[in-house]
Amino acid sequence: MSLGNYILGSSVRALLTDLGASLPAVLQRARLPQGLFAGGTVELTPTEYYALWQALAEDVADELLPITIARTISAEVFDPPLFAAFCSPSLAVAVSRIAHYKRLIGPLRLTVRASGGSMTIELVWPDEPPEVYALTELLFWVALARIGTRAEVRPLRLTAPVALPPDVRDQYAQYAGVPITHGPHWSITFDDRDADRPFLTANERMWEYFEPDLRRRLADLDQGTSTAELVHAALLKLLPAGAATTVSVARELAVSTRTLQRRLQLESTAFQSILRATRESLARHYLTTSTMTTPEIAYLLGYDDTTSFYRAFNGWTGQTPETVRSGANT
């Protein structure tokens, strides 16, 4: 499987049926082959993936489609990554598992951070996604928490970089229990007590059964990807946890530290170079697109204190974080 392609499971056909959508019409709108699902699972590029979602929205013509989909989701849907989430002992563990295997499902990366008794999941796409797709991904976490715990879990916050009509916004607030506030990122925040609430659907034996296949599929997805790209992707996940070491990245990639270093050497690069570049790009992103404080950014980049981050940032750019932020706002 080539990098940049994403798996669409056969459960999509069942979803389209549940929504009353016409599969031929959706595929025609998306300019995809009519026999796309003839072989079961299919691979789509991000552009094709987005086109399919946009076509679905146009075919169903329901401005509350993400809510309808969230109510359709069930633990019985057999899609290995999704099933693995329901098998998890809690929402926090499910988030961690899906964050690791999300690339098997679609063009989306999850950034998870804990702060002040809460867990925030930020959704990041390579390009601007269709609104219906992004809202569906956001509400998925509400549905997952409620199905897993059989409790009316309400997130603390929902943010989205879109302006919804008042009547539609009210419907989303009624479903989620909190309004969707305008912000620079797609994100959802849960109280730690809800994140750690036991899932009644937990099944560790089923997780142990599915995980090897998920690892194999992820390895297949990574074929043709450089080791440097894999290290960069692993760091995006591990940095907020303060695990920016060769040991933690090697463990994430299921290789030995020596093998990781040897592969990077063959690509004429080094772990520290990738770490520095990843931290710098993330720092610039956070400073220019978010309202996070400098200490919060330092924490997300895996620094023990703000002073270390200041020193490193000045070494990368010759500037202070405040200078870069003020320049982005002028």
79 and 211 assigned to the same domain: yes
Residue 253 in domain: no
pLDDT digits (tens, 9 = 90+) for 22-31: 989 999 999 9
Contact call for residues 169 and 180 (beta carbons, < 8 A): yes
Identify the domain boundary among 14, 39, 61. 61
Whole-angstrom distance, CA of residue 236 vs CA of residue 186: 17
90 and 181 assigned to the same domain: yes
Could you give the number of structural domains in the chain? 3
91 and 47 assigned to the same domain: no
94 and 195 assigned to the same domain: yes
Residue 309 in domain: yes
25 and 102 assigned to the same domain: no
Residue 122 in domain: yes
186 and 82 assigned to the same domain: yes
104 and 209 assigned to the same domain: yes
pLDDT value at position 196? 95
Whether residue 79 has pLDDT greater than 70: no
85 and 44 assigned to the same domain: no
pLDDT value at position 221? 65
Residue 251 in domain: no
Domain CATH code at residue 321: 1.10.10.60
pLDDT digits (tens, 9 = 90+) for 186-245: 999 999 999 999 999 998 888 887 788 777 777 766 666 688 888 887 888 788 777 789
Closest to 185 in 3D by CA, of 239, 236, 99, 111:
111
56 and 99 assigned to the same domain: no
112 and 45 assigned to the same domain: no
Q: What are the strands of the beta sheet with 109-115, ordered from one edge?
A: 109-115, 118-124, 186-191, 157-160, 180-182
Residue 87 in domain: yes
Per the structure, the complete domain to which residue 99 belongs is given by 74-215
Q: Where are the beta strands (DSSP E) in the chain?
A: 6-8, 42-44, 109-115, 118-124, 157-160, 180-182, 186-191
82 and 198 assigned to the same domain: yes
Residue 254 in domain: no
What CA dihedral angle connects 9, 185, 237 and 102, to 10 degrees?
Answer: 0
82 and 184 assigned to the same domain: yes
Phi-psi region at 270: left, alpha or beta (left = phi > 0; alpha = psi -120 to 50): beta
Residue 223 in domain: no
Whole-angstrom distance, CA of residue 299 vs CA of residue 48: 36
DSSP reduced 3-state for 274: helix
Contact call for residues 179 and 156 (beta carbons, < 8 A): no
Is the pTM higher than 0.85? no
